[in-house]
């Protein structure tokens, strides 16, 4: 049994404002549904970042200014779809580097390795399954400089204090002169953002509901999926998208393996995800607060998204 997951479920579902962490979305099935989300026409984030990494790979490499072989360490690699264009450019340019993808899903890593071996034979891949920081600690002992990739707007899933804590941890596990390329979704037309997170086909709803299915499976719980619905809202001033599951009736849920019964009122909310959007000035402030300097913002043509290059 995953004890951390169990503790977080109990803490979240017994809080005054019920909540579940979005990091638990990504079991193998959740990772597959997220691939569907990334393929939705409304989900502009994937196309925007793919454009940056496809059309500006040369500029990104030149901005790294590494004078020796280096590691590319990708945190939460997923299927590697966006990163492929950057890796392809570097390989075609005969750049000497190791690619170290890290993901908590072994299925995602296995798929990534097979895909890259087929498409980029000869790529030096050293995949890791597990916790970012345990792996980063080991890499810090190496004399080889590193580029960390934290793409896909993952930083938006953390509130301000959590984002600062996370980035400071990255900083502590990096060497002086190491770089971080961080994907950040930018504030834009609120309607564009809402469509991306509340899609008409209900894929985002399935992604959220899968968390209840996972709890049912892993903790022998009896969430009745049809008794819950999904909702999200975007605050254009704060830049925060918040997603919720809604209990459609008064009900109790038994988590048998945890020997817990959770009561839900009708229309009670479970907060499942935060996705924050930033301005370039806010990105620079976040970098400065966490011990980085910003070298460059790489933007897509619509200025929807930034891959921001930071240096320790």
298: CB partners within 8 A, 6+ apart: 52, 56, 59, 60, 306, 307, 308, 309
Nearest Cα neighbor of 34 from 306, 305, 275 is: 275
Question: CA distances (Å), 251 to each of 220, 263, 298, in order?
Answer: 17, 6, 49
Helix (H, G, I), strand (E, B) or coil at 72: strand
Q: What is the mean pLDDT of the chain?
A: 93
Q: How far, in Å, CA of 115 to CA of 112, rounded?
A: 5
State the DSSP H helix or E strand holding residue 273, giving kind and residue range, or none if neither: strand 269-276
Bridge partner list, 271 = 19, 244
Helix (H, G, I), strand (E, B) or coil at 78: coil
Residue 242: how many other CB atoms lie within 10 Å: 18
Q: How far, in Å, CA of 14 to CA of 264, rounded?
A: 10
Q: Which residue has the tokens 């600690």?
A: 137
Determine the average pLDDT of the residues in 57-67. Answer: 95
Residues 108-158 have pLDDT tens digits of 888 899 999 999 999 999 988 877 777 777 766 778 999 999 998 999 999
pTM of the model: 0.89
pLDDT reported for residue 48: 96
Q: How far, in Å, CA of 151 to CA of 129, rounded?
A: 17
pLDDT reported for residue 100: 93
Residues 269-280 have pLDDT tens digits of 999 999 999 999
Residues 63-86 have pLDDT tens digits of 999 999 999 999 987 777 779 999
For residue 288, pLDDT over 80 is answered with yes
Residues 191-210 have pLDDT tens digits of 999 999 999 999 999 999 99
Of 53-57, 98-102, 126-130, 148-152, the poorest mean pLDDT is in 126-130
Residues 13-23 have pLDDT tens digits of 999 999 999 98
Pairing of strands 240-247, 269-276: antiparallel
Q: Which of the four pLDDT bands, split at 50, 70 and 90, describes residue 169? A: very high
Domains within the chain, CATH numbers bracketed: 3-34+191-276 (no CATH), 44-188+278-311 (3.40.50.150)
Q: How far, in Å, CA of 291 to CA of 110, rounded?
A: 34
CB-CB contact of 247 with 266 (8 Å) = yes
Q: Which of the four pLDDT bands, split at 50, 70 and 90, describes residue 256? A: very high
Q: Which residue has the tokens 């995949």?
A: 127
For residue 34, pLDDT over 80 is answered with yes
For residue 211, pLDDT over 90 is answered with yes
pLDDT reported for residue 222: 97
Q: How far, in Å, CA of 300 to CA of 2, rounded?
A: 40
For residue 1, pLDDT over 70 is answered with no
**Residue 178 DSSP label:** -
Q: How far, in Å, CA of 90 to CA of 125, rounded?
A: 13
For residue 244, pLDDT over 70 is answered with yes
């Amino acid at each position: 049994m995953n004890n951390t997951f169990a503790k977080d479920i109990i803490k979240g579902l017994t809080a005054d404002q019920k909540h579940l962490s979005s990091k638990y979305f990504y079991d193998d099935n959740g990772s597959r549904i997220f691939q569907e989300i990334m393929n939705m026409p409304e989900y502009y984030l994937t196309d925007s970042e793919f454009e940056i990494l496809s059309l500006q790979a040369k500029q990104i490499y030149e901005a790294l200014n590494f004078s020796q072989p280096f590691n590319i360490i990708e945190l939460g690699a997923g299927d590697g779809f966006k990163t492929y264009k950057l890796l392809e450019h570097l390989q075609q340019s005969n750049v000497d580097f190791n690619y170290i993808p890290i993901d908590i899903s072994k299925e995602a890593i296995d798929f990534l390795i097979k895909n890259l071996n087929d498409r980029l034979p000869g790529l030096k891949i050293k995949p890791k399954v597990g916790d970012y920081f345990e792996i980063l600690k080991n890499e810090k002992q190496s004399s080889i400089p590193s580029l960390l990739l934290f793409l896909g707007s993952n930083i938006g899933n953390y509130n301000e204090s959590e984002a600062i804590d996370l980035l400071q941890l990255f900083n502590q596990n990096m060497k002086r002169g190491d770089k971080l390329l961080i994907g950040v979704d930018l504030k834009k037309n609120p309607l564009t953002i809402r469509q991306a997170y509340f899609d008409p086909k209900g894929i985002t709803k399935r992604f959220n509901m899968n968390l209840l299915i996972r709890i049912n499976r892993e903790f022998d719980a009896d969430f009745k999926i049809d008794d819950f619905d999904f909702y999200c809202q975007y605050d254009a001033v704060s830049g925060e998208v918040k997603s919720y599951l809604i209990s459609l009736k008064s009900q109790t849920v038994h988590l048998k393996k945890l020997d817990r019964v959770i009561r839900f009122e009708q229309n009670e909310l479970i907060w499942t995800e935060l996705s924050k959007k930033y301005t370039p000035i806010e990105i620079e402030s976040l970098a400065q607060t966490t011990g980085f300097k910003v070298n460059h913002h790489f933007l897509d043509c619509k200025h929807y998204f930034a891959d921001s290059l930071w240096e320790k």
